[in-house]
Amino acid sequence: MIVTILIPTALRQFAGGQLEMEVEAGTVGEALERLVSANADLRKHLYSGADTLRNFVNVYVNDEDIRHAGKLETPLKDGDTISIVPSIAGGMVAAEEEAFEKKELPALGNDEIARYSRHLIMPEVGMEGQRKLKAARVLMIGTGGLGAPLGMYLTAAGVGHLGIVDFDVVDASNLQRQIVHGTKDIGRPKIESAKDRLQDINPHVRIETYEIRLTSENALELFREYDIVVDGTDNFPTRYLVNDACVLTGKPNVYGSIFRFEGQASVFWAERGACYRCLYAEPPPPGLVPSCAEGGVLGVLPGIVGAIQANEAIKLILGGGEPLINRLLLFDAWKMRFRELKLRKDPDCPVCGERATIKELIDYEEFCGLRPQTNETGQTLVEEKLEMEEMTATELKERLDRGDDIQIIDVREPNEYEIARLEQAKLIPLGQVVNRAAEIDPARETVVHCKAGGRSAKAIEALKRAGYAGRLVNLKGGITAWSNEVDPSVPKY
């Protein structure tokens, strides 16, 4: 059987940049084995050491999750499409069904009737629907790429009470996509900038701000005050926290995520279907999935996905249409293609399943592997980690000025190298560094750098584990630190 395997953006760097691959196979397991045999670096990202699929990687044949079919033994037929859906992070509410607790609907003033007239003349919204929007309370987590368009559309639509949670400040690099902020807002708290813009869009909306980090200590109390929670986060600990808090408080979670030019959207509502953990039982190991800061994001993508999230929230409030409950929407902006996959509630889900074990919020930094684990006596369990030397940008400059024999290896991507570079550096992207280790002279001291120090640390660890014998030093803070400490003419991005 000839089938096509679609390779997601986050994994293409381990498959030679391929978007898809045709293979001959009779089962999903055979097809994936042919994929990883042709692309050896992919294996560790798809399989655990026991050659079982990792829990943060889902595989679909056409639109069916293989976990609910024959898993890796799922049979294939000619022309089937296999989708690999890693975490990056069909139900229906009938029009006459009340999605939320019945509440007295507020009246609309004449100026509001004029403002919302294009809604009011639609029978699917009308006066009653617009009053439902005015009565609704929506909590938005984040005012960044997704939160910017999301907040603007919810405000413009007349959602009566909008809560926003954020503790970040506006940076120049945000302005390529976070359209709620402007150049004059650089350096301001995002929550202040967003509130000013949203209040200007619609003064009839009450905007409540929470300049806090969402934590296990404050999430439940905060979520109970709202009808719907919309997830605009960009990290796994907060995403799992939002999901679990929504399940425990019975709130729908309007989900969106983005990376480069691909996006995902769904509505996770445990009372009516799957939650986020039903899709991704556990997060990927720290550093496996690159952030938008490392991988980039097409500026219009969060606008599209954020608008989809706003659309889903509005449908939930109105109690009409077909929300994305038990459906995962995939969007590829580069190909301008939408795909839809079916989701199913996992009866063994630890938070929403039949025998749920999670009854309260946990430490999500630890759950996602970002905090050291401790034993029963409170002692830190130290994972085996290779020692790593570091050097500051200032120290590197002094060593180079002194004439020390140092080779510099840049492990960023070629397009980043074009933006900013150190003249003395040789470019070997992270994904190639082990295979090209022979190009790094072990007799010379080697400084490895990337944008901010994370990828270069991974490169050093990979080289050491592969047996590289030379001295490797990580440039602390990467080329960004070089720009800050040594040469401001080197662009920051």
- Residue 332, strand partner residues: 262, 337
Within 8 A by CB and 6+ apart from 36, the residues are: 42, 43, 46, 47
> Per-residue DSSP letters for 59-97?
EEETTEEGGGTTGGG-B--TT-EEEEEE--------TTS
Pairing of strands 380-381, 425-427: unpaired
| 450 included as an active-site residue | yes
Tokens read off for 484: 């800050």
Q: How far is it, in rounded angstroms, from Cα 36 to Cα 51?
A: 11
Tokens read off for 252: 């729908």
Q: Terminal CA-to-CA distance of the chain, rounded, Å?
A: 46
113-to-108, 177, 319 alpha-carbon distances in Å: 6, 32, 21
Strands of the sheet containing 81-86, edge to edge, are 20-24, 2-6, 81-86, 57-61, 64-65
Given the residues 275, 278, 292, 349, select the one marked as catalytic.
292
Region label for 207, one of left (φ > 0), alpha (ψ between -120 and 50) or beta (otherwise): beta
Given the residues 246, 275, 349, 450, select the one marked as catalytic.
450
- Torsion, Cα 378 383 388 391, to 10 degrees, reads -40
Pairing of strands 373-374, 380-381: antiparallel
Q: Using CB atoms within 10 A of its CB, is residue 428 exposed (0-12), middle (13-18) or buried (19+)?
A: buried
Tokens read off for 261: 């030019």
| 275 included as an active-site residue | no
Q: How far is it, in rounded angstroms, from Cα 162 to Cα 140?
A: 7
Helix (H, G, I), strand (E, B) or coil at 418: helix
Within 8 A by CB and 6+ apart from 152, the residues are: 179, 180, 197, 198, 201
Active site amino acids: 292, 450
